[in-house]
Amino acid sequence: MHTLTAAAVQMVSGTHPETNIDTMRRLVRQAAERGADWVLLPEYWPLMGARDTDKLAFAEPLGAGAFQTAMSEIARECNIVLFGGTVPLQSGEAGKVLNTLLVYGRDGAPIGAYDKMHLFGYSGLGERYAEADTIAAGAAVPRLSADGINVAAGVCYDVRFPEFFRAQQPFEVLLLPAAFTHTTGQAHWTLLLRARAVENQCYVVAAAQGGLHESGRRTFGHSMIIDPWGEVIDELPEGEGVVIAPLDAARLASVRTRLPALAHRLL
């Protein structure tokens, strides 16, 4: 791995895709102006609807549509690798979309994709979430790379399944777009992210939704970048903005050399 600078964009996406696209472009430009080579967007960045079914009307076919065009254009404009959070894509299954992370190279061309596999379900404290009602689960563990660096990817609820990331080894950087609820985020978000960094001895870049949305939903925020020793390098508690940090190849090598846990794995 060589050293590069990564950024995570935090948004408080609303119910109007055009406004969210404008916000995404503005924040990606901010990240690029600060020297980011890679930029990660949050889950559901184009739309946090008033109802879970709202996204069905905006689902795009793979390779076409306003969301994909906007991501391709901003990657090319800013000369970055863009990990595009998630957008709703047509699934072929009635009443359901794919919740898909798309990756774009510096020329704006697509270089990878991952359809979210683990679908969030929670009920309690007056809240209920059931992603499986409107999302079709992905079927393939991601195999992504950029700039010659192996990358693991997950989306939000995936972070609770350590074996999912073990299945993607070897990698040096783990990318996680999310829209964690405030309830579950307050309890587990930082704990889970730091654990994934420590056990995989990797950098973790996590981009979140962070605030009170037009829909009334409250997301936890706390987008962050974590080093392979589990230290949080940069963090944004709430509101829109950017976290940014170097992913230092020497730091990664030092951690893995001093405590060669990955080489000691038996299972």
Shortest CA distance to 84 belongs to which of 148, 182, 153? 153
Q: Which one of the listed residues 55, 78, 96, 116 is annotated catalytic? A: 116
Three-state DSSP class for residue 109 = coil
- What is the Cα–Cα distance from 157 to 24, expressed in whole angstroms? 22
- Structure token digits, residue 57: 């009307």
User: What are the residue ranges of helices labelled H in the chain?
Assistant: 17-33, 66-78, 162-166, 182-184, 190-200, 249-258
Catalytic site includes residue 43: yes
Q: Which one of the listed residues 43, 60, 131, 172 is annotated catalytic? A: 43
Three-state DSSP class for residue 32 = helix
Half-sphere exposure of 132 (CA within 13 A, CB side): 6
Q: Which one of the listed residues 55, 156, 172, 240 is annotated catalytic? A: 156
Residue 175: partners with Cβ closer than 8 Å, 6 or more residues away: 40, 83, 151, 152, 153, 154, 204, 205, 206
Write out the catalytic residue numbers.
Answer: 43, 116, 156
